[in-house]
Amino acid sequence: MALWSVELSEFDIQYRPRVAIKGQAVADFIVELTSVEGEEEKNPQWSIFTDGSSNKKAGGVRVALNSPEGDELKCMIRLDFPTTNNEAEYEALIAGLDLAQVIGATNMVVHCDSQVITSQVNGEYECKGERMKKYWEQAKKRIDRLQAKIVQIPRGENEHADRLSKAASVEPMTTIDKVLSFT
């Protein structure tokens, strides 16, 4: 301390020892910088928006995965086999849940515009048909593992997903092997 006093004296600065911080000041500081219980979750919530579409020859699936920070990952998949609209919706749901698992997301809300799919997964409707039961089992297994909650949204709120899933289900474009150039 004496050494600091000598060093600081040439600049006309005086050393004053710091007094102890009162306990209440520390407590106020901790309360101010920490979140209130329930205000912020330990495991932030992700959102998945899914939609499926089908026609006579193929189906299409669109998935958008939104992180708690607002980042969005979009995926469009073409199903090269005949499906019903409900099967395409299940394919979209399963693809979205698989995508969420790959990136390590848990605790999510899945938004789906199909009343049949959301009601079956939530236990309100019974699943009929062997194929639909297999889809339901696969979806339910993933939902339970990822702590996911599935909710139905109006088709109008899922318009972007609807357009992309329909685009994925249309006939693939034919391309020309050679391009002619006029020089």
| Residue with tokens 């979750």, as numbered in its chain | 41
Task: Compute the distance between CA of residue 149 and CA of residue 107 in angstroms, rounded to an integer.
Answer: 8
pTM: 0.66
Which is more confidently placed, 52 or 11?
52
Q: Region 9-29: what's the mean pLDDT?
A: 67
Predicted pLDDT of residue 179: 41
Hey, what amino acid is at 140? Answer: K
pLDDT, tens digit (0-9, with 9 covering 90-100), for 117-156: 999 999 999 988 899 999 999 999 999 888 899 998 887 7
Residue 182 pLDDT exceeds 90? no
Give whole-number Cα distances, 157 to 50, 68, 72, 114, 174, in Å. Answer: 11, 19, 16, 12, 33
Report pLDDT for 27. 67
**What confidence tens digit (pLDDT) does each residue in 86-114 have?**
999 999 999 999 999 998 887 899 999 99
Question: What does the pLDDT average to over 44-72?
Answer: 88
pLDDT of residue 177: 44
Q: Hey, what CATH topology would domain 46-169 get?
A: Nucleotidyltransferase; domain 5 (3.30.420)
Element spanning 79, H or E: strand 72-79
pLDDT at 176 (0 to 100): 39
Cα torsion for 62, 51, 139, 131, to the nearest 10°? -110
Nearest Cα neighbor of 58 from 93, 86, 83 is: 83
Spell out the domain ranges in the chain.
Answer: 2-33, 46-169
Closest CA to 88 of 144, 151, 165: 165
Confidence of residue 15 (pLDDT cuts 50, 70, 90): low
